[in-house]
Amino acid sequence: MKFLDLCKVYIRSGSGGNGCVAFRREKFIEYGGPNGGDGGGGGDVWVETVDGLNTLIDFRYQQHFFAENGRAGAGRQMTGRDGDDIVLRVPVGTEILDEDQETVIADLDTLGERLLLARGGNGGWGNLHFKTATNQAPRRANPGQPGVERTIWLRLKLIADVGLLGLPNAGKSTFLASTSNARPKIADYPFTTLYPNLGVVGVDNREFVVADIPGLIEGAHEGRGLGDLFLGHVERCAVLLHLVDGSSGTLLEDYDTILTEIEEYGAGLADKPRIVVLNKIDTMDAEERAFLKDELEAHSGEKVMLMSGASKEGTVDVLRALRPYVDAARAPATPEVDDAWRP
């Protein structure tokens, strides 16, 4: 299944049915009077979050959603049938944006959340409604109100507890594959990851969700590379895991690049808790590990953890460092967060 996190959708609610002009015509009833029924109401357009979806791929093949029109009224005071509603089923974490792609109509981050996007038009009155003492045979009826037509954008922000950050080939997909059942594509060239991957990891009998997004490069916040298209998927995360490639010859520059990009991107990413990890330590000896760790800590002012996603060395310690932040986000009333590993 392909991944799709942004799509344009055209919706239209149903128009109301027309009212009816009719008169009672029966034998031996001289003055039957008006008996035209009202038109039925048009169908509404709803959006609802459902379980089992993690992409908007269904909306690639259908972009137009029209609710049913109401039926016209009839004689004998018969009201027309209401039009059927139509429901857009989306994954949890979907944002509804107006046509300008900036105005947020709703942020659906709860399972089963339901929102009315366009209300159907009211049905028109039949001539029975216009009968008065001075106008006992009205020959007028109201037309049904037209439906509402609008264009909206659906933008998906995945619901994950931990977001992975790093340059291309920093080892994010390898870490996800080694700690979960997710099977992202892994190769020795940049931009192997072309769309976000989710994996459920477990440590100390607790599970949480990790999101792997395409690697960031310098200028990603301005549209370079792929990362800027998917940074929205880590906006909801409780903590960010920043992986730095220990085998890179530009260790400090790599760290600064990622830090600059999340600061320029905004949306509160720079203010989120962040754990820095020196990855790929399986490619270096103990002396080189200690030197690079001290160098990165002195440069960043953060405590740096050591890990190798390929050999799984240090992965459990990293997961245990992430867990307190995930627990705190799931239970905001709990003030205790084990931050002892930080300086």
What residues are designated binding site for GTP? 166-173, 191-195, 212-215, 279-282, 308-310
Of 343, 167, 337, 317, the closest CA to residue 257 belongs to 167
Q: Name the one residue in this structure whose structure tokens are 């035209």.
A: 36
For every residue of 46-115, DSSP letters joined together read EEEE-TT----THHHH--EEEPPPPPPPBTTTBPPPPPPPEEEEE-TTEEEE-TTS-SEEEEE-STT-EE
Point out the annotated binding site for Mg(2+). Answer: 173, 193
The 10 Å Cβ neighbour count of residue 181 is 9
Phi then psi dihedrals of residue 45, to 5 deg: -110, 120
Point out the annotated binding site. Answer: 166-173, 191-195, 212-215, 279-282, 308-310
Please tell me the distance from the alpha carbon of residue 251 to that of residue 139, in angstroms, as a whole number: 84
Of 155, 153, 108, the closest CA to residue 10 belongs to 153
